Amino acid sequence: MSGIALVRKPGPRISEGIVTHIEREAVDHERALAQHDAYAAALAAAGWRVTYVPPADELPDAPFVEDAVVVSGRLAVLTRPGAPERRPEVESVAAAVRELGLTAVRIARPGTLDGGDVLQAGPTVYVGRSARTNDQGIAQLAALLPERRIVPVDMSGVLHLKSAVTALPDGTLIGDADRVDLPGLLVPPEEAGSHVVPLGGDRVLLAASAPETATMLEKQGFFVTKVDISEFEKLEGCVTCLSVLVPD
């Protein structure tokens, strides 16, 4: 698998990003930039063509580009983030997906939807009910994706659904059973191991903060690329948050 990887560099106000379920820590902007460059390089090494969304230096959470759009085939669903201060992030992402030739549609008021609450696994789309995503947003997404099976998911103690669970290339769901109730869940040895980005084939991207999970997945036959995203983890970010993959 290959295609476009949409990313956005962190701006100088990244330390002001929203923190909900963890204690705030100081974020080093220069280190975040270096980690983001290494993240983008890992995507490129896996065959993805990295495309940068225009900078949004005035918006602290803008590098978490996943929350602004959900891509299904050639359709780009522009979200309406649950945090009002994040809604200005969407317009520049909208321009980027249109430049890629995708058809753009929108979640409308009173719906709210964060892309981090949307987990696509084959024909099924799991959507977390959260402080950022409401039932109206889920219903609108279902109407926009009639060919997909939409499964609402309740969760607790995490910002987004994909903060608790993601999917391996073979469709296996991997995540924290204490945060989300889903059947057949593979529980990793570390919390950060719940966050996996499939890169194509048996390749996956994983945070360097989950070395035991990396070993577990390698024993199962997956090729694991590890990246240090510690500055973004201070803002409840994970490897899935920092990109939107658009397959060819």
Residue 225 in any domain: the answer is no
With H, G, I as helix, E, B as strand and everything else as coil, classify residue 212: helix
- Whether 2 has a pLDDT exceeding 90, the answer reads no
Residue-range definition of the domain harbouring residue 68: 3-163+236-247
- Whether 221 has a pLDDT exceeding 80, the answer reads yes
Mean pLDDT within 186-198: 97
CA dist., res. 183 & res. 89, Å (int): 34
Residue 226 in any domain: the answer is no
Q: What is the pLDDT of residue 20?
A: 87
Residue 185 in any domain: the answer is no
CATH of residue 90: 3.75.10.10
Catalytic one of 36, 160, 195, 238? 160
- Whether 169 has a pLDDT exceeding 80, the answer reads yes
Residue 103 in any domain: the answer is yes
- Where is pLDDT greater, at 141 or 19? 141
Mean pLDDT within 112-136: 97
Q: What is the pLDDT of residue 55?
A: 95
Torsional sign, CA 12, 13, 18, 22:
positive
Q: What is the pLDDT of residue 232?
A: 98
Q: What is the pLDDT of residue 3?
A: 96
- Whether 22 has a pLDDT exceeding 90, the answer reads no
CA dist., res. 48 & res. 25, Å (int): 32
Residue 208 in any domain: the answer is no
Give the amino acid at 94.
A
- Whether 210 has a pLDDT exceeding 80, the answer reads yes
The two tokens of residue 177 are 């059973």
- Range with the lowest mean pLDDT among 15-29, 45-59, 95-109? 15-29
Please list the alpha-helical segments (H only) found in the chain: 29-45, 90-99, 135-144, 211-219, 230-233
Of residues 189, 229, 232, the one with CA closest to residue 211: 189
The two tokens of residue 208 are 């360097």
DSSP states of 120-139: EETTEEEEE--SS--HHHHH
238 tagged catalytic: no
CA dist., res. 68 & res. 171, Å (int): 24
- Whether 201 has a pLDDT exceeding 70, the answer reads yes
Residue 136 in any domain: the answer is yes
Count of the separate structural domains present in the chain: 1
Residue 38 in any domain: the answer is yes
CA dist., res. 234 & res. 211, Å (int): 18
- Whether 144 has a pLDDT exceeding 80, the answer reads yes
Q: What is the pLDDT of residue 1?
A: 64
Residue 98 in any domain: the answer is yes
- Whether 23 has a pLDDT exceeding 90, the answer reads no
DSSP element (H, E) containing 75? strand 75-78
CA dist., res. 68 & res. 97, Å (int): 11
Q: Measured in whole angstroms, how far is the alpha carbon of residue 172 from the centre of its chain?
A: 17
Catalytic one of 36, 195, 238, 241? 241
**Average model confidence (pLDDT) for the chain?**
96
29 tagged catalytic: no
Confidence of residue 21 (pLDDT cuts 50, 70, 90): confident
Within 10 angstroms of residue 124's Cβ, the number of other Cβ atoms is 14
Of residues 29, 166, 8, 22, the one with CA closest to residue 91: 8
